Amino acid sequence: MDIHHPADVRYTRIAVILHWLIAALIIFNLSLGLIMEGLHGPVRGFWIPLHMSIGMTVLILTLARICWRLTHRPPALFDGPQWEHLAAHLAHFTIYALMLGLPVTGWAIISAHPPGGPGAPHYFGLFKIPALPVLPFLNSAVQKQAHDTAVSAHTVAGYLMIGLLVLHVLAALKHQFIDRHPQFRRMSL
């Protein structure tokens, strides 16, 4: 049997589109997140709601991607040592967890402390992003604590995501150029 038949080594079209769309939106939001702190006034009022809207879109697309993943078996990993397969599964699982965790902690920040004025949480200017349950109704001291915890979690998740993305790209480059597996073809249309 030819185990490198293209049908065996490629992700489906839907999975490939979701992979690159989510990757682009996350990289954009990570970069924006890192410079957002230094922004003020109307510039801040433009970029922060955009950050929130893109983050909420990542959440929706990630839920779609997880539905795909649970209903389709991805192509098998290439041959390699067992530790490498274990590391790949662990990294992929953690990236999925962060793809959910980053938007949810961001959503918790604005639910515990909705910014007003031009930085108000609107989804691409179309409608107000609803608050998560409970958080808007806490007494103010607990609410402030919840807000600060969500900001810390969001920040730590952001740096973890940057670290894992670097590892993920290095691993893909290693498979392509050192092990000489057709790694890039798996995730191309």
Q: Are 136 and 112 in contact (CB under 8 A)?
A: yes
How far apart (Å, rounded) are the C-alpha atoms in residues 13 and 17? 6
Q: Is 100 exposed, middle or buried (0-12, 13-18, 19+ CB in 10 A)?
A: middle
**Cβ at position 70, least distance to ligand HEM in Å:** 21
Residues 111-170 that bind ligand HEM (CB under 6 A): 121, 129, 151, 154-155, 158
| Among candidate residues 144, 178, 158, 184, the one with its CA nearest the CA of residue 27 | 158
**Cβ at position 177, least distance to ligand HEM in Å:** 28
Which stretch, 11-19, 25-33, 71-79, 174-182, contacts ligand HEM (CB under 6 A)?
Answer: 25-33
Residue of 26, 112, 135, 146 that binds ligand HEM (CB under 6 A)? 26
Residue of 9, 21, 23, 56 that binds ligand HEM (CB under 6 A)? 56
Bridge partners, 128 (sequence order): 122
Q: Does 52 bind ligand HEM (CB under 6 A)?
A: yes
Size of interface with ligand HEM, in residues (CB under 6 A): 24
Residue 103 CB partners (closer than 8 Å, separation 6+): 55, 56, 58, 59, 62
Output the CA–CA distances (angstroms, integers) from residue 125 to 48, 69, 93, in the order listed: 12, 31, 33
Q: Does 101 bind ligand HEM (CB under 6 A)?
A: no
Residue of 10, 11, 103, 175 that binds ligand HEM (CB under 6 A)? 103
Residue 138 CB partners (closer than 8 Å, separation 6+): 112, 146
Q: Which is nearer to ligand HEM, 30 or 87 (CB)?
A: 30
Interacting residue ranges for ligand HEM, rule: CB under 6 A: 26, 29-30, 33-34, 36-37, 51-52, 55-56, 58, 102-103, 106-107, 109-110, 121, 129, 151, 154-155, 158
